[in-house]
Amino acid sequence: MSALLLMLTALSSPPEGPPFTVRVDERRHEVVIRMGPFPLPANEAGAGEEHEGMGHAHGSQLPVYRFPWPVSGWVRGFRVTILDGNGNPLDRRLLHHVNLLHLDRRSLTLPMFEKTMAAGQETEAVTLPKSVGVRIEKGADMGLASMWTNETGGDLPGVVLELALPYLPENTVPEPLDVRPIAMDVGFRPGLTAGFDLDSGRKEFSREFILPVSGRLLGVGGHLHDYGLSLELRDAESGKVLVTLRAKTRPDGTVLGMSRKVLGVSGAGLKLKAGRRYLVVAKYYNPTGRVLKLGAMAAMAGIFAPDDPKEWPVLERNHPVYLAEIASLDEQGWVSIDASGKPRPPDQR
């Protein structure tokens, strides 16, 4: 087998962190991250709360795994698999979300570290064309954060997360277009959950943002909780709707997935301008007749090609938003390793 196995074995702090490995498969050009097995207790939600909280009020957070990225190149997608200890598939609704964090690079829309990849329980696999990719250098300081929600009614003894990220190697010719992730979160609050309460009936929630650099939005997807209907990206100054994403739901309002829009991966894309005001709008319909505490979430995420990558804003590690987000990760706890598998102090940020 020609694959290079570069195993980074986590030395846990705290010691109860589940097993964690990173494997580079050079033949398939994939970075494969595997976490677990770990026990997942049933949610402590009361009767009638099957849609409420979606893991925020009753779910489980694992420590944040911090590790050096193992290979230079361009990440061009991801796929998420949830397994039991014997390798059998489990329900994706066990996973509320998993985020791959680039702790050395700034987010486009917020003064915090970059969420290189974000997937929810309804997120399908993503594969970008070979003409584009998100550049990550070997040794980049990365983190993996996840939240879980077990609505099965019983404890699960062993759950495994497998995250595979296809990449283009450093010697790819011609070099792909360097793109960056863009995240537009309606409920973002520094250091706190992005979930928010969902009142009964039809509701609309929105958040405005201003981009620091101009560029092209090439593709976009979204994340909504149960009872979510749609997400919109609007030009706040003209009121024009630029993108609409619709939820795929069961009759009871359970969200199964979200539509996606490819806006021009190989073409012009959707032009977004620095200094201009944009709006992300989420629409919900809650038929329960009661307020669902932390029952809603709404975010758009996609790929963005800056006009000039050199103008990308620098990460300010003393910014209050950055500090609040790091403090939130500190509360979850860290499992830190270096390239040789040795412990690394979690305060080296």
Residues 127 and 164 in one domain: yes
User: Do you find a cis peptide bond into 14, omega within 30 degrees of 0?
Assistant: yes
Number of helices (H), then strands (E), in the chain: 1, 26
pLDDT surpassing 80 at residue 50: no
CATH at residue 66? 2.60.120.230
pTM of the predicted model, to two decimals? 0.87
Residues 318 and 226 in one domain: no
Residues 32 and 66 in one domain: yes
Residues 189 and 153 in one domain: no
Q: What is the amino acid identity at position 12?
A: S
* pLDDT tens per residue, range 317-331: 999 999 999 999 999
Q: What is the amino acid identity at position 80?
A: V
pLDDT of residue 54: 45
Residues 107 and 251 in one domain: no
Question: Max Cα separation, the chain?
Answer: 58
Residues 157 and 40 in one domain: yes
Tokens of 269: 């894309």
Q: Is residue 241 part of a domain?
A: yes
Residue 71 to residue 24: CA distance in whole angstroms = 8
Tell me the pairing of strands 334-336 and 64-68: parallel
How far CA 261 is from CA of 121, 224, 244, in Å, comes to: 19, 16, 8
Strand, coil or helix: 32: strand
Residues 234 and 148 in one domain: no
Residues 241 and 99 in one domain: no
pLDDT of residue 342: 55
Question: Among 53-67, 210-224, 285-299, which is the least confidently predicted range?
Answer: 53-67
Domain of 292?
Answer: 180-311
Residues 99 and 223 in one domain: no
Q: Is residue 14 part of a domain?
A: no
Residue 160 to residue 176: CA distance in whole angstroms = 33
Strand, coil or helix: 52: coil
Q: Binning pLDDT at 50, 70 and 90, where does residue 124 land?
A: confident
Domains of the chain: total: 2
